[in-house]
């Protein structure tokens, strides 16, 4: 039995991967902290507007990709853009963590720094599934 909820194709595995990537980008930022500063205050992504914008942008791209389930090529492109956005976010985290200890106010890293890595893995899996679907459709078109 296929689950079609409000015209979304939930039975496709890439939709599940994209949904999990979007939930990781939009939901986990409120659960896990990014780092602890020198005053022992936990810093979350919603405390820093740049990180909040990048995380929500990633979740928005995942949502747009889910809504464009009929256009697999565009869905694939959105997945790649989302992967690039998460690499940029990861780059900002690496830069923030590599600032020398005397100049930085980070005393301890948090689990939230690894959210972009989780999103990248899920997006790569989604793009592999999208590519597999596209190849399947092309092979069926060749047989006609």
Higher pLDDT, 99 or 1: 99
- Residue 144 pLDDT level (bands cut at 50, 70, 90): low
pLDDT, one tens digit per residue, over 5-45 is 445 556 689 999 999 999 999 999 899 988 888 788 888 88
Q: What secondary structure does DSSP assign to the chain, as a single string?
A: ---EETTEETTSHHHHHHHHHHHHHHHGGGTS-SEEETTS-EE-GGGSHHHHHHHHHHHHHHHHHHHTTT-HHHHHHHHHHHHHHHHHHHHHHHHHHHS-TTT--EEEE-GGGGHHHHHHHHHHHHHHHHHHHHHHHHHHHHH-
pLDDT in tens, 49-91: 999 999 999 999 999 999 998 898 999 999 999 999 999 999 9
- The torsion of the CA quartet 115, 120, 125, 130, rounded to 10 degrees, works out to 120
What pLDDT does 110 receive? Answer: 83
Banded pLDDT at 102 (limits 50, 70, 90): low
For range 82-103, the mean pLDDT = 87
Residue 129's contacts (CB-CB under 8 Å, 6 or more residues apart) are: 12, 13, 14, 17
**CA angle 82-86-91, nearest 5°?**
145
């Amino acid at each position: 039995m296929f689950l079609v909820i409000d015209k979304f194709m939930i039975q496709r595995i890439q939709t599940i991967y994209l949904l999990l990537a979007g939930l990781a980008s939009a939901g986990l930022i409120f659960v896990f902290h990014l780092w602890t500063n020198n005053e022992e205050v936990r810093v979350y992504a919603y405390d820093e507007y740049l990180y909040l914008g990048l995380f929500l942008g990633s979740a928005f791209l995942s949502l747009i990709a889910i809504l464009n389930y009929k256009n697999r090529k565009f869905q694939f492109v959105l997945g790649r853009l989302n992967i690039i956005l998460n690499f940029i976010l990861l780059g900002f985290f690496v830069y923030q963590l590599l600032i020398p200890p005397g100049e930085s106010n980070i005393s301890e890293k948090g689990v939230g720094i690894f959210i972009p890595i989780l999103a990248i893995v899920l997006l790569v899996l989604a793009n592999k599934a999208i590519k597999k679907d596209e190849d399947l459709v092309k092979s069926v078109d060749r047989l006609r």
